[in-house]
């Protein structure tokens, strides 16, 4: 990013705070050696981890358990040419501890597609990056609001 390109880098805590205000993001993982992206609803945990709740039988659970994934969430205002985007990268793991599962069943995200047997997938935030687009500013001095 350049000093006047219209973007502002976000710090880790600001990224996590912004993510806590939205409920849909995209998980990025590898499927058959190729990148795959899937929109999911999510929620934050007390330790800043990203939590997904999904069917225990889903393909997603099989491919992300034990893998390093990326998770992206954003909020964009197309009319004002502004918004933010945050990416969390880290290992994903299915929560297997019964007490932890019980706690998350009470406090964690609710699946938008409930299943008879659900699991929680925790993404540990090893790397958290983000940026904000400040509407109407570009590196080239072009007024985007005109």
Residue-wise pLDDT tens digits, 44-91: 998 999 999 999 999 999 999 999 999 999 999 888 888 999 999 999
Backbone angles phi, psi at 83, to 5 degrees: 155, -170
Q: Where are the beta strands (DSSP E) in 23-136?
A: 24-31, 34-41, 43-44, 50-55, 68-77, 82-94, 118-123, 127-133
Give me the pLDDT at residue 7, please.
82
pTM beyond 0.85: the answer is yes
Q: pLDDT digits over 115-126, tens only?
A: 899 999 999 999
Q: Which residues contact 78 (CB under 8 A, 6 or more apart)?
A: none
| CB-neighbour burial class of residue 118 (10 A; exposed 0-12, middle 13-18, buried 19+) | buried
């Amino acid at each position: 990013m350049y000093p006047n390109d219209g973007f502002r880098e976000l710090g880790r805590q600001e990224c996590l705070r912004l993510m806590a205000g939205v409920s849909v993001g995209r998980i990025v993982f590898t499927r058959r050696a190729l990148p795959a992206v899937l929109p999911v609803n999510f929620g934050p945990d007390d330790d800043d981890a990203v939590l997904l709740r999904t069917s225990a039988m889903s393909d997603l659970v099989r491919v992300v358990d034990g893998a390093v994934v990326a998770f992206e969430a954003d909020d964009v205002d197309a009319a004002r040419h502004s918004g933010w985007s945050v990416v969390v990268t880290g290992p994903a793991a299915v929560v297997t501890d019964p007490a932890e599962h019980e706690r998350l069943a009470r406090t964690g995200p609710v699946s938008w597609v409930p299943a008879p047997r659900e699991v929680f997938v925790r993404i540990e935030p090893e790397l958290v990056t983000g940026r904000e687009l400040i509407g109407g500013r570009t590196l080239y001095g072009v007024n985007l609001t005109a």
